[in-house]
Amino acid sequence: MTATPAASSATPAAPAPSASASSPPSPPSPPSPQPASPASPASSVSPGRATLFFDAVVVGAGPAGSAAALELARAGRSVALVERGPFPGSKNVYGGVIYGRVLDEVLPAWWEEVPVERWVVRRSTMIMTPTRSLSIDYRSQAWGAAPYNGMTTYRADFDSWLAGRAVAAGARLVTSTVATGLLRDAAGRVVGVRTDRADGDLRAQVVIACDGVNSFLAKEAGLLPRADAAHHTLGVKEVLSLPAEVIDERFGVRRTEGVDIEMLGCTRGIPGGGFLYTNADTVSVGVVLSLPHLAVAKVRPEEIIADVKAHPAVAPYLRGSTVKEYSAHLIPEGGYDAMPRLHADGLLLAGDAAGMTLAAGIWLEGVNFAIGSGLAAGRVAARAITVGDVSSAGLASYRSDLEGQFVLADHRRLRGAPEVILSERIQQRYPGLITDIAEGVFTVTNPTPKPGFTRLLRRAARRNGVSLRELAADAARIGRVFR
Ligand SMILES: Cc1cc2nc3c(=O)[nH]c(=O)nc-3n(C[C@H](O)[C@H](O)[C@H](O)COP(=O)(O)OP(=O)(O)OC[C@H]3O[C@@H](n4cnc5c(N)ncnc54)[C@H](O)[C@@H]3O)c2cc1C
């Protein structure tokens, strides 16, 4: 096995870490991985297979994995970052917006070198029925200047950039390599990973599983029970080409400014939502759909995206565009109460492998949570290696670290959100109720006098099958969840 020392020509298609004025000084040289000697205890783990030694092995060069590898390398630890794709981000799917402030910990003034399509200055929430829409449209010019709020970027670019930071700090990136299982010692402790390469297993004091949703390694370790479909949605998206100046004009922005539109009520009653994001010269449009409901609805996700694209409030943005790419991926939406145990002897979970995407209606954030948890996992692993205790107890401070920062604090605060947001009334009745009220308010009915708001509310509630008692209960529930 070749441990790629840097994202270089030895790693197909992986770009070199950006060279810019803010590039870090020469990275510390970590101890080189050593082939297993015949006397090494590791040789008994996988007889007949060569073994390389590292302080830590991180599986998955998504945002969680690269962040974890970066922290370990910065602490002077030898770390292998194993990625099944030919380069980081090559297989990764998401909607398109990253909230970058978590990168403050990675690099000061990260915005000067991060690969970005557009900086989001407009965030809109659109409540829809098949023929109507009501938008809450927020715009902030402050978001168009450093330190920025959100950016659209392609994962192939972003993940390669972040992995490049880890490599620059000394991590060894090993691409086109699948971790196929955990290596354990006689006592059952995790001591490395088996890979799909005939020439090598990777042995380490700590393994950090950052292999994404439905983590194979977390399941093998017994941390993740069988996937519960109710805790997952399917995200599907299309990337559509449009000239940059057409995007500017239609979305009301200028060259580096971008727009994020989230949609509710566009999924044929299947719990979920839609999104529309601007890149430099493409737009990403997609939907997120509850898996169990999709299974019984007998409708294909492409048909729902087609509905969204044809909606009268969306179609004018997309006129004349051509589909460049289609992709689909699972999203762990169970939130705080559905998360697995985060550590075992010699093992930590981070990012989507631990179910850390925050899906709370107006928020769909996973990359920042993956980076936050990856950084914490890398720090805790480095500390545990230094003090010589990589047992589950020795790694337990990972959980408290995350509870003390946004990763688990946000999840804890919003733990009831997935259930509320995906509930039948919010998904199927409130879009009609809200747009009925808007229509009543904005329709001029002369010579009939204007109806009062209470009358409009009662009428809309009746029409959409919601009792006033249910309305009050939902308002209280939403108030509690988003307090
Ligand atoms: C449709 C959709 C829209 C989304 N929109 C957004 C959004 O707009 N903003 C946002 O912040 N989040 C969004 N998310 C969530 C976000 O994509 C995830 O939360 C984030 O990617 C998690 O990062 P991660 O590093 O934990 O896992 P991943 O990004 O999934 O990375 C896992 C990595 O591990 C590698 N891997 C897996 N198994 C192995 C193995 N056995 N051996 C070696 N390598 C392996 C994979 O190739 C991959 O590179 C969206 C998700 C979807 C599906």
Q: Which atom of ligand 1 lies nearest, measured to the CA of 216?
A: 41
Dist CA 128 CA 165 (whole Å): 42
Domain boundary among 383, 415, 447: 415
- Domain assignment of residue 28, yes or no: no
Ligand 1 contacts CB of residue 123 (under 6 A) = no
- Domain assignment of residue 108, yes or no: no
Distance between Cα 468 and ligand 1 center (Å): 41
Asked whether residue 55 falls in the same domain as residue 170, the answer is yes
- Domain assignment of residue 103, yes or no: no
Ligand 1 contacts CB of residue 193 (under 6 A) = no
Handedness of CA 403, 406, 407, 413 (dihedral sign): positive
- Peptide bond before residue 147 is cis, with ω within 30 degrees of 0: yes
Dist CA 280 CA 257 (whole Å): 9
Q: What is the pLDDT of residue 315?
A: 98
Ligand 1 contacts CB of residue 94 (under 6 A) = yes
Phi, psi of 358 (to 5 degrees): -95, 110
Is residue 288 within 8 A of residue 364, CB to CB? The reply is: yes
Ligand 1 contacts CB of residue 284 (under 6 A) = no
Asked whether residue 307 falls in the same domain as residue 169, the answer is no
Domain boundary among 332, 354, 379: 332
Distance between Cα 264 and ligand 1 center (Å): 23
- Domain assignment of residue 22, yes or no: no
Handedness of CA 173, 177, 178, 180 (dihedral sign): negative
Asked whether residue 122 falls in the same domain as residue 178, the answer is no
Asked whether residue 182 falls in the same domain as residue 38, the answer is yes
Domain boundary among 374, 398, 415: 415
Ligand 1 contacts CB of residue 59 (under 6 A) = yes
Q: What is the pLDDT along the chain (483 residues), one digit of tens a residue?
A: 544 433 332 333 333 332 222 233 333 333 334 333 322 333 334 455 678 999 999 999 999 999 999 999 999 999 999 999 999 999 899 999 999 999 999 999 999 999 999 999 999 999 999 999 999 999 999 999 999 999 999 999 999 999 999 999 999 999 999 999 999 999 999 999 999 988 789 999 999 999 999 999 999 999 987 778 889 999 999 999 999 999 999 999 998 999 999 999 999 999 999 999 999 999 999 999 999 999 999 899 999 999 999 999 999 999 999 999 999 999 999 899 999 999 999 999 999 999 999 988 788 999 999 999 999 999 999 999 999 999 999 999 999 999 999 999 999 999 998 888 889 999 999 999 999 999 999 999 999 999 999 999 999 999 999 999 999 999 999 999 888
Whose CA is closest to atom 35 on ligand 1?
Answer: 60
Ligand 1 contacts CB of residue 181 (under 6 A) = no
Residue reference for tokens 């109720």: 433
Closest to 124 measured CA to CA, from 133, 111, 112: 133
Asked whether residue 245 falls in the same domain as residue 144, the answer is yes
Asked whether residue 235 falls in the same domain as residue 324, the answer is yes
Closest to 246 measured CA to CA, from 170, 322, 175, 312: 322
Tell me the best of 90, 91, 94 to mutate to test the pocket of ligand 1, counting ligand atoms within 8 Å of each CB and taking the most. 94
Distance between Cα 293 and ligand 1 center (Å): 23
Tell me the best of 84, 238, 365 to mutate to test the pocket of ligand 1, counting ligand atoms within 8 Å of each CB and taking the most. 84
- Peptide bond before residue 451 is cis, with ω within 30 degrees of 0: no
- Domain assignment of residue 70, yes or no: yes
Distance between Cα 444 and ligand 1 center (Å): 49
Asked whether residue 148 falls in the same domain as residue 159, the answer is no
Whose CA is closest to atom 5 on ligand 1?
Answer: 95
CATH code for position 359: 3.50.50.60
Asked whether residue 376 falls in the same domain as residue 470, the answer is no
Q: Which two tokens stand for residue 20?
A: 């810019």
Ligand 1 contacts CB of residue 179 (under 6 A) = yes
Q: What is the pLDDT of residue 24?
A: 30
Is residue 69 within 8 A of residue 62, CB to CB? The reply is: no
Ligand 1 contacts CB of residue 100 (under 6 A) = no
Instruction: Tell me how many domains the chain contains.
Output: 3
Whose CA is closest to atom 19 on ligand 1?
Answer: 366
- Domain assignment of residue 175, yes or no: yes
Distance between Cα 94 and ligand 1 center (Å): 7
- Domain assignment of residue 101, yes or no: no
Ligand 1 contacts CB of residue 336 (under 6 A) = no
Asked whether residue 39 falls in the same domain as residue 169, the answer is yes
The whole domain housing 40 covers 34-93+155-225+340-415
Ligand 1 contacts CB of residue 96 (under 6 A) = yes
